[in-house]
Chains A and B, each alone.
Chain A
Amino acid sequence: MLWETVTLAFITIIRNKLRTFLTVLGVVIGVAAVIAMVTIGQGSSQQVNASVAALGTNVLTARPGTRGFGPPTAGAPAPRFTLKDAEALAVLPQVVYAAPVVSTTQNVVFGNANASTQVYGTSGAYQLVQNWPLSAGRSFDPSEESAGAAVCVLGQSVSTKLFGGSDPLGQSIRVKNVSCLVLGVLVARGAGSFGQDQDDVVLMPVKAVQRRMEGNTDVDSIAVALRKSVSAADGIKAVQQVLRERRRIGLTQSDNFSVSDMKELSNMLGGINAVLTGLLSSVAAVSLLVGGIGIMNIMLVSVTERTREIGIRLAVGASAGQVLLQFLVEAVVLSLLGGAIGIALGLAIAFGGSIFMAIPFAPSAAVVALAFGFSALVGVVFGYFPARRAARLDPIEALRHQ
C-alpha cells in the first residue's frame, strides 16, 4: 500500500514537470543555501585550525600597541620594538627562538616580470619559529644577517610570478631599489587564516630592510617560539615582564604592547567564523520555510483540482487515512526531491567556493543527513494540512465536483 502510494506520488510529480520544478524550487534554494553556507563555514574553520597548527601551538607574537589585531588605537602611537628587544627575548630560558619582523609591501622585479609582494625583514630564526622549511637553496647566514646583505629567500608564489618554471637560485631580483641575490625558495604553505596567500612573501635580513628600504631601526613585531615544556600563559608572562622592563613601564602603568598566542588568534577567528556561518545559515533556513509554504500552496491547489479523483478513491473503498497518506507522501516526496537537488546544488556551490577561496572542501555527512531530514520534515509539516483537507472530503460531494 505504501509502495503504491509512493509510486503514485512519483507518477503525479513526473506528470506535472514544470509545476513540480516551480514547487520544489523554494526548498531547493533553501537547502542549497544552508548546505553551501555550512560546508564553506566548516572548510574555513578547518583552514584556520590547519594554519594555526602549522604555526605551532607554542608561538607567541609581540606587537606594539595594546590591541592584538586590527588598526592601531587613537592617540600617540606606541613606541616600536628594536632588534635589542628581540635579542633580549631570545635569551629567556622559556624561549627557543625569537625573530624580529619588519614587514613592508614592495614591488619586486625580475626581467620583464614584476609583482607587488610582502617583504619580511627578519632573521634566520623566523623560519624556525614558523616551522617553515626551504624547498631549495639556503637561508641567509649570521654574517649576512649582521651585515644586512642584499640577499633574499622567496615564497613559492613570488618565485612562480617572477621566474615561472625556471630556477631562481643565484639570480638577482630588484626589491624596491635594491638588487638582491636569491639564496633559496620556501616550501608552499597555501592560504592563511584570513584567506591571504602566505606564499606571496620575500624574506630578507632585517637590517637590509631597515637600512635600505625603511630607513629606520624599528621592528614591527617579534615572533617567539616557546620551549615545548612551557605553557603559553607562562611564556606570555615572561615575555611581558622583559618587555615592560625594557620599555620602562611603571608598576601602575598598563602595557603599551600586546603578546598574543596562536590559541587566541584561533579562538577569535573560529568565533567570527561560527557567528558568520550561523547568521548566513539562519537566513538560508528562512528560505527553506518559504519553500515549505510553497509546497503547501501547491498541495492545496492539487487537492481542489483532484476532488473528483478523491471521491472516486473513497467510493471504491479508500479510507480517509489512505487518502491522507497519499497526499502526505506526495508532499514529502516533493520536498525530499527538492532537498536532494538542493544538497547536490549546495555541495557544488561549496566546492566551487572552496576552490575560489582556497580553503578545504569539507562536506559533512551529518549536515547532509540533517538537511535531508529537515526537508522531509518540511514536507510532513506543510503537507499535513492539505492532506487532511483531502481526507475529510465528503465522498458524495467530491463525486459531484466538476
Chain B
Amino acid sequence: MAALIQFADVQRHYGKGEAEVRALDGVDLSIQAGEFVAIMGPSGSGKSTAMNIIGCLDRPSAGKYLFQGVEVQDLDQDRRALLRRHCLGFVFQGFNLLARQSALENVELPLIYKGMAKSDRVARAQAALEKVGLAGRAHHDPSQLSGGQQQRVAIARALASDAMVILADEPTGNLDSQRSHEIMQLLQALNRDGITIVMVTHEEDIAAYAQRLLVFTDGKLSHDQPTPPLTRQGA
C-alpha cells in the first residue's frame, strides 16, 4: 500500500543566486496512514516549510510530493484548495479561529466550502464539538473561551470536515503545561480512532506523545526514529 504522505527529494528554495535560501534541501520521507508523527528541529531547519508543503499551502521547488500515491506537487491553487478542503485539517499555534463567530460557526466553516446544507452542517459541527468536550460552549465566541478551549474548537474544525490528516503546527505553543497535556491526550485519542497526525513542536515532552520523531537540520531530515519508549507519553 502506498504511503499516505511521501516526499521524494523535495527541495524548497527562496530567492535567487547569492541570496538563495535552501529551506528544504532534498528531503525523502514517507508517513503511513494512522501514524502520529512529531517533527522537531531548530528554527530555520525547514520543519515549518515541510509542514506547509504537506498541508498544500506551499509547493516544492523541485522533487515530488505524493499524497495517497498521487503526485500533487504541480497542482494549481484551486486543486490544492480542494485537497485541503477534503483531506486535511489544520491546528495552529495561534488557534486561528474567526473572531466574532461562535465556536459552532467556526467548526462549520470548512463544511460551508464543502457545500453542505445548513442543517447537516450544524449537526456535524455539534458532534465534532461534543467529541472535543465543548458541547456546552457551541455558542460562545472565541474571546469567551480559554486558550485550551479555543484549541479544542480548532481541532473540532478539523474533525468536522472529516480530515484524514491533522496538521498541527506547535499546537501547544500558547498553552500552559496542563492544557498542553490535555490537548495532546485529545490528539492521541483521535489518532487511535485512525486519524493521521503530523505535528511540529520544539518541546520534547510534547513530541513524546507521538510514535515517531522526525528531526530536521539545515533543510535536511537528520533523524527519523520511533520516539523512545521510555519517554513515550500516554502509551
Using a CB–CB cutoff of 8 Å, the interface residues on chain A facing chain B are: 1, 4, 15, 308-309, 311-322, 395-396, 399
Chain B residues positioned under 8 Å from A15 (CB to CB): 100
A396 touches B112 (CB 8 A): no
* B58 and A396 within 8 A (CB): yes
Residues of B167-190 whose CB lies within 8 A of A:
none
Interface string of B95-135 (1 = CB under 8 A from A): 01110100000000110111100000000000000000000
What separation, in Å, do the CA atoms of A315 and B52 have in the docked complex?
10
Known A-B contacts A1-B115, A320-B77, A320-B78; the reply to A315 vs B84 at CB < 8 A is yes
**Which of A308, A318, A319 touches B96 (beta carbons < 8 Å)?**
A308
A317 B115 Cβ-Cβ under 8 A: no
CB-defined A-B contacts under 8 Å, sample of 6:
A1-B113, A15-B100, A316-B84, A317-B114, A318-B113, A321-B78
Bound Cα distance from A314 to B88, whole angstroms: 12
**CA–CA, A178 and B215, complex, Å:** 117
**Which 5 pairs, one residue from A and one from B, show the smallest C-beta to C-beta distance?**
A317-B85, A316-B110, A319-B81, A317-B84, A319-B78
Counting CB contacts under 8 A, is B86 at the interface?
yes
With contact pairs A308-B96, A320-B77, A396-B58 given, residues A315 and B90 touching in the complex (Cβ less than 8 Å): yes
| Of B81, B84, B110, B161, most A-chain CB atoms within 10 Å | B81
Contact of B109 among A313, A321, A395, A396 (CB under 8 A): A313
Q: Which residues of A contact B113 (CB under 8 A)?
A: 1, 313, 316-319, 322
- Decide yes or no whether B82 CB sits under 8 A from chain A: yes
Which A-chain residue is minimally distant from B97 (CB atoms)?
A312
Contacts A319-B77, A320-B81 hold; do A312 and B112 have CB atoms under 8 A apart? no
Q: B209 near A: Cβ within 8 Å? A: no
Chain A residues in 8 Å Cβ range of B96: 308, 311-312, 315, 399
**B84 CB, min distance to chain A CBs, angstroms:** 4
State which of A1, A309, A314 has its C-beta within 8 Å of the C-beta of B112.
A1
Task: Say which residue of B58, B81, B98 sits within 8 Å of A317 (CB atoms).
Answer: B81
Nearest to B110 among chain A residues (CB) is A316
Is B3 part of the contact surface with A, judged by Cβ < 8 Å?
A: no
CB < 8 Å neighbour of B82 from A309, A311, A317, A399: A317
B152, CB-defined interface residue at 8 Å: no
- Alpha-carbon gap, A314 to B114, bound state (A): 13
B78 touches A317 (CB 8 A): no
B193-209, CB < 8 A from A: none
| CB-based contact B81/A318 at 8 Å | yes
Q: Which of A1, A316, A396 has the most CB of B within 10 A?
A: A316
**CB neighbours of B84 from chain A (8 A):** 314-317
Question: Given known contacts A312-B109, A316-B90, A318-B85, what 4 new A-B pairs fall within 8 Å (CB)?
Answer: A316-B84, A317-B82, A317-B85, A319-B81
B29 surroundings in chain A (CB, below 8 A): none
- In the complex, what's the smallest C-beta–C-beta distance from B155 to chain A, in angstroms? 13
> Does B47 belong to the interface (CB within 8 Å)?
no
B157 at the interface (CB under 8 A from A): yes
User: Is there a chain A Cβ closer than 8 Å to B67's Cβ?
Assistant: no
Task: Assess the B58–A316 pair: CB atoms within 8 A.
Answer: no
Residues of B within 8 A of A316 (CB): 84-85, 89-90, 109-110, 113, 157, 161
Contacts of B78 in A (CB 8 A): 319-321
Shortest Cβ distance from B128 into chain A, in angstroms?
A: 13
B114: chain A residues within 8 A (beta carbon)? 317
Which residues of chain A are near B55, meaning CB under 8 Å?
315
Contacts of B65 in A (CB 8 A): none
Closest to B169 in A: A399
Q: Tell me the smallest distance from the CB of B113 to a CB of chain A, in Å.
A: 5
User: For A320, what are the chain B residues with a Cβ–Cβ distance below 8 Å?
Assistant: 77-78, 81
B36: Cβ under 8 A from any A Cβ? no
- Known contacts A1-B112, A1-B115, A399-B96; decide if A319 and B82 are in contact (CB<8 Å): yes
Residues of A within 8 A of B57 (CB): 314-315, 395-396, 399
Contact across chains for A317 and B77 when beta carbons are under 8 A apart = no
Whole-angstrom distance between the Cβ of B206 and the nearest chain A Cβ:
21
Q: Give the docked Cα–Cα distance between A244 and B111 (Å).
A: 90
Verify if B92 is at the interface (C-beta below 8 Å from A). Answer: yes
Closest to A317 in B: B85
- Is the Cβ of B112 less than 8 Å from the Cβ of A399? no
Interface string of B13-32 (1 = CB under 8 A from A): 00000000000000000000
State the Cβ distance, A327 to closest chain B Cβ, in Å. Answer: 15
CA A355 to CA B156, docked complex, whole Å: 62
In the complex, how many angstroms separate the beta carbon of A179 from the nearest chain B beta carbon? 82
Question: Which residues of A are found within 8 Å of B90, using beta-carbon distances?
Answer: 315-316
